[in-house]
Amino acid sequence: MAKKASTTTKKPASKPKGGKTTNGTKAQKGEDGTGLLLEGEPIGYRGELLQLASLSAAFEPLPAAASAAFLAQHPADACRKNAESTKASDIFRAAMSWARILAEKSGSPGLHPARVRWFFDCTTALGSALAGETTLPNPSDEATYADVVARTSKLLTRTTRKLGEAAGSRAPYKEALRAARASQGHDKHALVFRSLAALTKKWLDDRTLNLAPNDITPSTVKSLNDAAKELEATIANRRAARQAQHDSPAVNELEGRLLFAMRPLWHDLREAREDGTTNLVLTVSPSLLRGLGIRRTKEKPDAPEA
């Protein structure tokens, strides 16, 4: 039987809160303080990455030595081979489902904090690659970058809102604010903060807007510049950006590494269920089971004898 067309057809971008989509882009509204989605940026994976940064906070970041040890367990070629039978986007979606469950049940018996955090880091790295972002060699470093983006984006959204309130309905000021948010370039996220800092300083110096009652002060300029520096520091050693087309070798490597990180979690919880210490079950699909090399029937513990 021929494969269904839906297995290869990309779904259209869903309509996010606060903006309309046109050819997979979002008109930036920034109403909830959780996103650093700039005007014209692709939507989809980036929203999930920001959610992932919040979910991963339930587990402590790995020390550098522990992260390096996890990374060394599986070389790149083994990771690519591990991803031969699956599709990266499917595995990422499955991992996001696990991430939501694990964050909610972070204190559940059977969860090894370091192994779970490595899973979160590997999920973040794959999601970043699928989003066409630059990626770091170590998934834990990539997760650190995602944490910085999630944290600084709150500052960006709230400051933009306050500046917009101060600008009111005056078109020249609204246009200046929009232009500052539309910075482009390789490090455009940091550039946006610097552009907003420069605009804020100019408005403060001009003393023509009602800034202080809207909590816009010289400390706002410093906070924006500090955020830019923090973002720049986290991307200093990132690889050259590459937009992934289908599953490239780089994406396959990250996909396979994530599958390697997921398998121990499955077995940890299976053994905990066998011991009667938890009833937590992670959701799976045929594709994920195939990638993990697991047969569903073998994962069910035998019923206790009467």
250-289 per-position pLDDT tens digit: 899 999 999 999 999 999 999 999 999 999 999 888 889 8
Evaluate whether residue 208 is within a structural domain.
yes
Dist CA 164 CA 201 (whole Å):
15
Evaluate whether residue 168 is within a structural domain.
yes
Q: Please report the pLDDT score of residue 14 as a whole number.
A: 42
Residues 174 and 200 in one domain: yes
Residues 127 and 245 in one domain: yes
Radius of gyration of the chain (CA): 22
Evaluate whether residue 256 is within a structural domain.
yes
Evaluate whether residue 18 is within a structural domain.
no
Burial of 109 (0-12, 13-18, 19+ CB in 10 A): middle
| CA 212 to chain CA mean position, Å | 34
Residues 129 and 255 in one domain: yes
Evaluate whether residue 15 is within a structural domain.
no
Evaluate whether residue 3 is within a structural domain.
no
Evaluate whether residue 28 is within a structural domain.
no
Mean pLDDT rounded to a whole number for the chain = 79
Residues 67 and 188 in one domain: no
Residues 230 and 253 in one domain: no
Q: Please report the pLDDT score of residue 296 as a whole number.
A: 60
Residues 250 and 230 in one domain: no
The more confidently predicted of residues 31 and 208 is: 208
Band (pLDDT 50/70/90 cuts) for residue 198 is very high
Residues 247 and 214 in one domain: no
Domain termination residue (choose one: 234, 256, 274): 234
pLDDT tens digits, one per residue of 134-150? 666 778 777 777 778 77
User: Averaging pLDDT over each range in 6-10, 11-15, 74-78, 188-192, which range is the top one?
Assistant: 74-78
Q: Find all residues with CB under 8 Å of 93, minimum gap 6, and list them.
A: none
The closest alpha carbon to 15, from 2, 26, 28, belongs to: 26
Torsion of CA 228, 232, 233, 236, to 10 degrees: 180
Pairing relationship of beta strands 25-26 and 21-22 according to DSSP bridges: antiparallel
Phi-psi region of 185 (alpha: psi -120 to 50; beta: other; left: phi over 0): left
The residue-averaged pLDDT of 145-164 equals: 86
Residues 124 and 246 in one domain: yes
Residues 65 and 183 in one domain: no
Residues 70 and 122 in one domain: yes
Evaluate whether residue 216 is within a structural domain.
yes
Domain termination residue (choose one: 206, 234, 262): 234
Q: Find all residues with CB under 8 Å of 223, minimum gap 6, and list them.
A: 155, 159
Q: Which of 32-41, 89-98, 188-197, 200-209 has the lowest mean pLDDT?
A: 32-41
Residues 257 and 223 in one domain: no
Counting the structural domains of the chain, the total is 2
Residues 279 and 131 in one domain: yes
Q: Which range marks the domain in which residue 114 is found?
A: 41-135+240-287
Taking the model in full, what pTM does it have?
0.60
The sign of the CA dihedral 60, 64, 68, 71 is positive
Domain termination residue (choose one: 189, 209, 234): 234
The closest alpha carbon to 138, from 238, 7, 277, belongs to: 238
Dist CA 165 CA 163 (whole Å):
5
